Amino acid sequence: MVQLMKAAVFVEKNRIVLEDKPVPDVGPLDALIRITTTTICGTDIHILKGEYPVEKGLTIGHEPVGIIEKLGSAVTGYQEGQRVIAGAITPSGHSYACLCGCGAQDGAGSKHGFRAMGGWKFGNTIDGCQAEYVLVKDAMANLSPIPDHLSDEDVLMCPDIMSTGFSGAESGGVKIGDTVAVFALGPIGLCAVAGARLMGATTIIGVDTLPERMKVARGLGADHVIDFKAGDPVEQIMELTDGRGVDVAIEALGTQSTFESALRVLRPGGTLSSLGVYSTDLKIPLDAFSAGLGDKRIVTTLCPGGKERMRRLMEVCASGRVDLKPLVTHRFKLDDIEKAYDLFGNQRDGVLKVAIQP
């Protein structure tokens, strides 16, 4: 008899609904995880609104915290009952892309081993984790045991928000003494602030307009927070840096406006580190690009995954270097996930991230 579980399913544009689905079968390399805590991501809202296409009937969600329910026959090194997380991105470990250091673009099984965004499987190409159970493919490359002294919420930001946000600083190559600007202080931008701080930036400038976010940004390491409604953020940043510009500008929203401002505040030789999911073509203004002669770089990064990444991020949580607890502003039972989508999708009540517990 098929065992059933509850799962938040994309039914059609503007409808994600909690439904019954069969608990998945476990292949030799897989692990079945019983979800104990998960969350909703801004990308899930794009899916809800029909802005990012996924198949109807897919379970949404890509930030799993849980317990190993069942291990595939070929999986070694883990025990059932162990508390684990997996990244939002789950590289196979064995594709050409993975072995090339590009796990997020994993194309295991495809002709050349690369597939754009191929490492993003949960809630994108396979059933995700806003459910009672989730199946993790290539479990040995992806399951990362949670240290005993960390709670589910302690590590809830690791699978996506923290990994993505920190990567903004890492791909930007932040160095000791750098000045860094972060455009948009949603959960990703806030983690980018924390990541820049963690890597030694000494002047961090956040840009947003919502007072609660600006406050959290200061707590995570922003030295200055600029309200883009109070004046052109480019002018404000150039004034703050006394005309020099910034070494690294991190884009954390996914719009032409933030992208362009990020490019404009760069000093010659600086790096624009882009994290946002765009939904339109982008324009690079000739002057902001110094006609191609300014030694500027534009780098994009999809959330790094894999168990070593998760281990390191949990080390950050355990060390107390960064406190992301203030990001979890609301909590819901899985049964109430539709309400959680309503709150989070409409950005009410100062919500930053919600914790969902089956």
Subset of residues 121 to 160 that bind a second copy, contact rule: CB under 8 A: 138, 140-141
CA distances from 272 to 58, 226, 277 (A): 34, 18, 15
Parallel, antiparallel, or unpaired for β 83-85 and 144-145?
antiparallel
How many residues in the shown chain lie near a second copy by CB under 8 A?
A: 95
When the beta carbons of 166 and 344 are compared against a second copy, the nearer one is 166
When the beta carbons of 213 and 296 are compared against a second copy, the nearer one is 296
Instruction: Measure the CA–CA gap between 126 and 297, rounded to whole angstroms.
Output: 34
Instruction: Measure the CA–CA gap between 275 and 160, rounded to whole angstroms.
Output: 12
User: Considering the rule CB under 8 A, would residue 358 count as an interface residue with a second copy?
Assistant: no
Q: Which of 132, 153, 170, 208 binds a second copy (CB under 8 A)?
A: 170
Q: Which of 57, 219, 269, 350 binds a second copy (CB under 8 A)?
A: 269
Task: Provide the b/e sequence for 44-70 (b: ≥16 CB within 10 Å).
Answer: bbbbbeeeeebeeebbbbbbbbbebbb
- Per-residue binding string, a second copy, 239-268, x by CB under 8 A, is ---xxxx--------x------------xx
Q: Which residues, 6+ apart, have CB-to-CB distance to 284 below 8 Å?
A: 263
Q: Which of 125, 152, 218, 289 binds a second copy (CB under 8 A)?
A: 289
Task: Provide the b/e sequence for 247-260 (b: ≥16 CB within 10 Å).
Answer: bbbbbbbbbeebbb
- Per-residue binding string, a second copy, 196-215, x by CB under 8 A, is --xxx-xx------------
Q: Which of residues 25-84 bind a second copy (CB under 8 A)?
A: 27-29, 73-74, 76-77
The residue range among 5-13, 229-237, 291-299, 325-333 that interacts with a second copy, by the rule CB under 8 A, is 291-299
224 sits in which H/E element: strand 224-227
Q: Which of 6, 62, 83, 115 binds a second copy (CB under 8 A)?
A: 115
User: Considering the rule CB under 8 A, would residue 172 count as an interface residue with a second copy?
Assistant: no
Q: Which of 37, 38, 59, 92 binds a second copy (CB under 8 A)?
A: 92
Q: Which residues, 6+ apart, have CB-to-CB distance to 21 below 8 Å?
A: 4, 5, 6, 7, 9, 59, 127, 131
**Angle, helices 163-172/187-198, rounded to nearest 10 degrees:** 50
Q: Which of 64, 165, 186, 276 binds a second copy (CB under 8 A)?
A: 276
Q: C-beta of 343: minimal distance to a second copy in Å?
A: 26
Q: Position 23: which residue type?
A: V
Q: Which of 315, 323, 342, 349 binds a second copy (CB under 8 A)?
A: 315
Q: Position 203: which residue type?
A: T
User: Considering the rule CB under 8 A, would residue 14 count as an interface residue with a second copy?
Assistant: no
The residue range among 17-25, 110-118, 209-217, 326-334 that interacts with a second copy, by the rule CB under 8 A, is 110-118
* Dihedral over Cα of 252, 257, 259, 263: its sign: negative
Q: Which of 22, 177, 231, 350 binds a second copy (CB under 8 A)?
A: 177
- As given in the structure block, the two tokens for residue 103 are 């796990």
Q: Which of residues 332-351 bind a second copy (CB under 8 A)?
A: none
When the beta carbons of 81 and 243 are compared against a second copy, the nearer one is 243
CA nearest neighbour of 177 among 141, 201, 210: 201
Q: Which of 283, 325, 339, 348 binds a second copy (CB under 8 A)?
A: 283
Contact, 178 vs 202, CB < 8 A?
yes
User: Considering the rule CB under 8 A, would residue 219 count as an interface residue with a second copy?
Assistant: no
User: Considering the rule CB under 8 A, would residue 165 count as an interface residue with a second copy?
Assistant: no
Q: C-beta of 287: minimal distance to a second copy in Å?
A: 9
Instruction: Measure the CA–CA gap between 20 and 267, rounded to whole angstroms.
Output: 54
How many C-beta atoms lie closer than 10 Å to residue 318's C-beta?
14
When the beta carbons of 1 and 293 are compared against a second copy, the nearer one is 293
When the beta carbons of 167 and 236 are compared against a second copy, the nearer one is 167
